[in-house]
Each structure stands twice: as C-alpha cells, then as structure tokens.
Amino acid sequence: MNRFRILPIGLLLVGITLSATEPAPTDLAAKLLGVDTAQQAVWARAAEAGALEVAPVHLPVNAPGDCNHYGWPVATLAGDALIVMHRRIPGHRAKGAGGPHPKMSYGVVLRSTDGGKTWSAPYDLRNCMKPADRNRGGVVPLSHRAKFDKDNKSPLGYKVHLHAIGTARDGAVVAVNNHGVFRSEDAGRTWKHFFQALREDTFKHPIINIGPRILDDPKRGLLVFGNWFGEVDQYHKYSEKLVALNSHDGGASWGVEEHPVGFKQYEPAALLHDDRYLLVTRDQNQVRAHRQMTWQPGQKPVITPTNLHDRRLVDTVDLSFNPLTKRLELVRSERHRMQLWLWSIDPADWATGKWRRECRLLARSGRFYAEADGFHPAGAVIDPQRGVQHIFIYTGHPNGPAGVFRITRTLRTDKLTELLTLAP
C-alpha cells in the first residue's frame, strides 16, 4: 500500500508571485482549514501510518473581485487523471459576500496525473463557450440570479443548478453545471460546450438541481439525477420528484424521466450496484436527515428512512462502494458541528437504512454559516489501483475566502478508523 504524508500547505501555489499585501499560501490554507492542534496531531499520526494525506487543491489567491469563495468540488477519474470541478463565486451566504464579477464561474476545472500531488493551472469552462452563450441572460447564471442578481428576471440561460461530473464508458469526461454541458475527449485537457443542451429554449422544464455524479448506463446512456428547482423567480421551489436526465449522444441532448417520491429530495448521490441504482439524498423538508432511494429505470423508486440524522442542516454526501471492504461507504458532513465523518453499511443490509459510523475525518472550529463554511464531500473518487479514496471538500468563511482541499485516505477503513479514533 502507498504511504502518505501531509503535504506542505501551499504546494499547489509554488511559482505564483504574491504581492506584499496577499497572504502566503501556507497561512491562507491554515486559516481556511481552521483545525486545532488536536486535529493536526490525529492527522499526523494517520499520515505516519500511511493512511491519510491532506493538501490544498485550489486556494483563492489573486481571486477575481469578490469571487474568493472556491467551493463545492466534485471529481472523477479518467485513466490516471483526476479531474476536479468547483465554483468560483462571491460566497455561500449572499448577505455580506460581495458582488459578482465577469470571471465568476460555476465550472473551474483542474487535473492531476500524480494522485493529486500537483495540479494543472485552473481552467474556466466558460472559456470554451461562444461569447453569446457565456453570459446568456447575464453574468450570473439562471438559477442563481435570485441570490446574486435579484433585479435580473431574464429567463435566458441554462436550466441547471449545482453540478455533476463523470467518466463515460468510452473514457470521455462529461461535466454539467450552471453554464450547461461540457465534454472532454482527452481526460480534461481540452473541452467542448454543448451550447444547446439544457438551454431554456431547448429544455422545456423547470430548472433542475442535480446530484454530484454522472453515470453511464449501457442501455440508458449518461444519467444525471436531481429534482425540479423552480424558475428564475421561484428560487428553491422544490417538487417531490426524482428526476433522471439521460443522454444517448454523449451529452448533446437530454431526455427526462421523473417519479414521485413523497418528499422534497435534494442533490442525490447515485451509484450503480448489482444492476440497480442506489441513491442517498437530502430530505429537504426539514434538512435534518438523509433518505435512501432504490431505483430501476421505468419504475417508481423505493424510499427507505435511515439513521442518518442531524440536529440541523444536512449536506450532500458521497456514496461509493469500497472494493477492499466490500461495503457501501458514505462521506458525510455534520454541518452544525463543522465535522466530516465516514459511514458504512453492508450491501446486504441496504434495505434496513442502518449505517455504521466509522470515524471522524475532520473537525474545524467555528459556527456553520456564521464564521465557518464547508464541506460538501460529494463527488469523491475511488482509485482501486492506489488503494485510496480522494475526497474533495471546501472550507473557509461563508462570505469568502474559502478554498478547495483534498483528503486522500486508505481504503482500509478498519485501519483508518483505528488511527483516527485513538487519543493522540
């Protein structure tokens, strides 16, 4: 098994010239992580045992205008390349966050071919869009005008909220975000924008909020799961549906299948396992629990309550199958505590909804949405060749700055749990 170490904070930023007024990368990363000496000691012990590595991916150094909140990373693996996509916006909480900027983006991508140790220069996916499409309806995308551009009631734009990424069976990388649908045939080096896909004049449906992962079904083609979100003047008007978008042409056009589920579900994390789709989704009725959905195309989903409850504000999870432990695993944040936890369940016990809490991966200081923000661990990547999972999170302040970090952990969950639960 590969041995890991905690990389020096700021590794990504070597070679960038900083002005005298800008924080050094090491100081900025430490500030955004917000962890105490006890957490650092736990990480150091796990790193020494070859089980954990924590490092920055992209920090808001030289951020454009007020757009210093880098967040909501999702990732995929294409060959030996890790591709991460994240937002670059004024903030999570609109009040006090500042205003939009022409370089505001919901699709900044970076790639790594050495397991996340070094990263390419960030690329804004809007740069491969036609000028007329790049700011269709305004600088702020359609779904976020009610938050960052309240006076703009233009219905023009791409009818997507949030984002998803995945690697198709032919090796292409497909990304969907607030700017539309993008495809790369060379593992994230270059990109193409499908300028008509999910646009308001071609997609005659409400805005759809989507979960973090794109899957490629041999019969259904590309699949993206979500829920209806409303229109430009109906921010957060959820339905009680599971919506599945499917594309048979690599992302250029999309069909819709929808089924009632009886509650407002949000950002479903999806996995194809044993010829059925398993999903864990936020119950958006009170935002205090996750529920499971089991689905097969053309059929109504089976809904399962779970023991995944919090006192307030659940977040989007990552759902993966660990090929080493043969268990389904969740990376799940507890936002009211500003903590990140790993959970697991035997696939045979899926119908019970009873998950096992394994270990705490991270704890930071601060009150969520007041002085602290994070983590959105969705869209993590299992790398079976290296025997690891790469988890991508953001953390910082809800008004910015906030940055993107990588937590790489061994797939030996028992060993990791032992290391992270022992007293330092």
**pLDDT at 424 exceeding the cut of 60:** no
Residue with tokens 């070094």: 118
Residue 56 lies in a domain: no
Question: What pLDDT does 23 receive?
Answer: 58
Does residue 346 form part of some domain?
yes
Share of the chain above pLDDT 70, in %: 93
Instruction: Identify whether 46 is part of a domain.
Output: no
Confidence at 157, pLDDT banded by 50, 70, 90? very high
Q: How many domains does the chain have?
A: 1
Contact 257, 296 (CB under 8 A): no
- Asked if 306 contacts 289 with a C-beta cutoff of 8 angstroms, the reply is yes
Q: How confident is the model at residue 235 (pLDDT cuts 50, 70, 90)?
A: low
The 10s digit of each residue's pLDDT in 361-407 is: 999 999 999 999 999 999 999 999 999 999 999 999 999 999 999 99
Residue 32 lies in a domain: no
CA dist., res. 13 & res. 57, Å (int): 9
What mean pLDDT comes out for the span 68-79?
98
For residues 366 and 34, is the Cβ–Cβ distance under 8 A? yes
- pLDDT higher than 90, residue 357: yes
387: domain range? 73-87+99-398
Please give the pLDDT value at position 121: 97
Count H helices and E strands in the chain, helices first: 5, 27
What CATH number should be reported for the domain holding residue 142?
2.120.10.10
Count of alpha carbons within 13 angstroms of residue 420, beta-carbon side: 25
Whether the per-residue pLDDT at 6 is higher than 50: the answer is no
55 within domain boundaries: no
Instruction: Evaluate whether residue 43 is within a structural domain.
Output: no
**What confidence score (pLDDT) does residue 354 get?**
98
Domain-located, residue 35: no
Exposure letters 136-160 (e unless 16+ CB within 10 A, then b): bbbbbbbbbbbbbbeebeeeebbbb
Position 335 in a domain? yes
pLDDT reported for residue 25: 78
pTM: 0.94
Specify the higher pLDDT residue, 25 or 22. 25
Rounded CA-CA distance 236/397 in Å is 23
